[in-house]
Amino acid sequence: MNLDPVQKAAWQMRRLPSSALVCVLLAVVAGAMGCEELTARRTLQEAAREYADGHFEKAAQECEKALAIMPDFDIANHNCALIYHKMFRPGLDTPGNAKIADRATELFAKYIAKNPDDGKIIDLMTRIWIDAGRYERALEYWEKELAKDPKDTEMIGKIAGIHRLAGDWKKAIEWHEKEAEAEEAPEAKADALKNIAKLTSTRLLYNRIKIKWYERLEVADIGIHAMQRSVALAPDSFESEQLLGSLYGVRGEAHQASWAQLIDNANSRFHYKRFSILKKKADAEAGSPGRKAEDQKAEDKKPGEQKPAGGQKDPGKTDDQKPVGETPQKSQSQDSSKEEASPGGGATARSGGPAAAADKPSGAKASAGKP
């Protein structure tokens, strides 16, 4: 049979068994997928270069191109989310900023679906929800996670913290009560109850003008009741006595009757006295920072030694040896009802620049600090 090369190849293909044909087809498909992944990785490299140059919008555009090629590419979801996280501005209430926040958390969620143990990314996603005022989304996520392990006190504390940041202090107290109930060790229960007292104390101190006298009594009573249970579990806590002294003092200010005010003021002085006794005892047991200060004063009074007067330089220290403090971070102004700055811990630092992903396998788990 005289056949040209093309006809001969076609005739040979027809003679292959079906299993061999399947293998050939799979090889073709695999080759095509490899090209898509390679293109996506090269696009991510370009995104990383734009990011390094400070062109965040261009970096996001390149990332979106990579996602258009491979929507489920883990590294692309991870890197793009971190770029949008960098672009997001906490406290800026504009439609554009809200859109950036939503895209960042959407991509983080896709990445977390395949990497559920990446706690740093989960905390970043939670922080963006909170900073963008998307409290309901953060609560929805953490309540679903809690359903997998209802006794996880860390998650319960996070949910309480999110309610607190959302301004719903009563709901936060409910969750702190659940936290105390779920804790097994007496000291841990005492600490959970102490969180309730801290919440009420902060609310009273920072909302003196807004809260009416009868509301102040209600809030103070909630805190005092929690602290009384906490002290019963951990009786030698000087911090507990200090909180009780503060709560009774603020409660006394709310009374309309002078005799009632006198009673609360007496209770406040009693607990502050207890605080002083327990604090001294704790200092003595822990190496006594207070005693060290007294010893230093005595050392300063020893004759024969001259200390530099105020404003004079220490002759043993040059200008180059001035201590350098940490650069203070700007705090975001918040409503006075949102007292705490954290929902129970988590990563709040903004991430570093995206790493070029072209040299990583598609299934590799990227670190939270570098996309």
* Whether the predicted pLDDT of 21 surpasses 80: no
State the Cα–Cα distance between residues 167 and 335, nearest whole angstrom.
Answer: 8
pLDDT, mean of residues 129-149: 96
Q: At 288, is the pLDDT very low, low, confident or very high (cuts 50, 70, 90)?
A: low
pLDDT, mean of residues 351-360: 45
3-class SS at 207?
coil
Please tell me the predicted confidence (pLDDT) of residue 206. Answer: 83
CA torsion 40→45→51→56, rounded to 10°? -20
State the Cα–Cα distance between residues 131 and 185, nearest whole angstrom.
Answer: 34
pLDDT, mean of residues 132-140: 96
The per-residue pLDDT for range 148-202, each reduced to its tens digit, is: 999 999 999 999 999 999 999 999 999 999 999 999 999 999 999 999 999 999 9
Burial of 215 (0-12, 13-18, 19+ CB in 10 A): middle
* Whether the predicted pLDDT of 300 surpasses 90: no
Angle at 160 between CA 157 and CA 164, to 5 degrees: 135
Please tell me the predicted confidence (pLDDT) of residue 20. Answer: 43
State the Cα–Cα distance between residues 94 and 85, nearest whole angstrom.
Answer: 15
Asked which of 20-34, 209-223, 286-300 is least confident by mean pLDDT, the reply is: 20-34
Which of 87-91, 213-217, 291-295, 330-334 is predicted most confidently?
A: 87-91
**Torsion angles phi and psi, residue 261, rounded to 5:** -65, -40
**Which amino acid is residue 131, in one-letter code?**
D
Whether residue 42 contacts residue 83, with contact meaning beta carbons closer than 8 Å, is answered with no
* Whether the predicted pLDDT of 368 surpasses 80: no
Q: Could you tell me the two tokens for 261?
A: 């005010």
* Whether the predicted pLDDT of 78 surpasses 80: yes
The per-residue pLDDT for range 302-339, each reduced to its tens digit, is: 444 444 444 444 433 434 433 333 333 443 434 444 44
Please tell me the predicted confidence (pLDDT) of residue 159. Answer: 97
pLDDT over 90 for what percent of the chain? 58
Burial of 224 (0-12, 13-18, 19+ CB in 10 A): buried
Please tell me the predicted confidence (pLDDT) of residue 287. Answer: 77
For the chain, the average pLDDT equals 78
Please tell me the predicted confidence (pLDDT) of residue 205. Answer: 85
Please tell me the predicted confidence (pLDDT) of residue 304. Answer: 43
* Cβ atoms within 10 Å of 234's Cβ, excluding its own: 17
State the Cα–Cα distance between residues 116 and 11, nearest whole angstrom.
Answer: 52
Q: Which helix (H) or strand (E) holds 106?
A: helix 95-114
Q: Give me the long-range contacts of 316-324 (CB less than 8 A, separation at least 24).
A: none
* Whether the predicted pLDDT of 291 surpasses 70: no
The per-residue pLDDT for range 336-349, each reduced to its tens digit, is: 444 444 465 443 33
Domains of the chain: 29-133 (1.25.40.10)
**Torsion angles phi and psi, residue 272, rounded to 5:** -70, -35
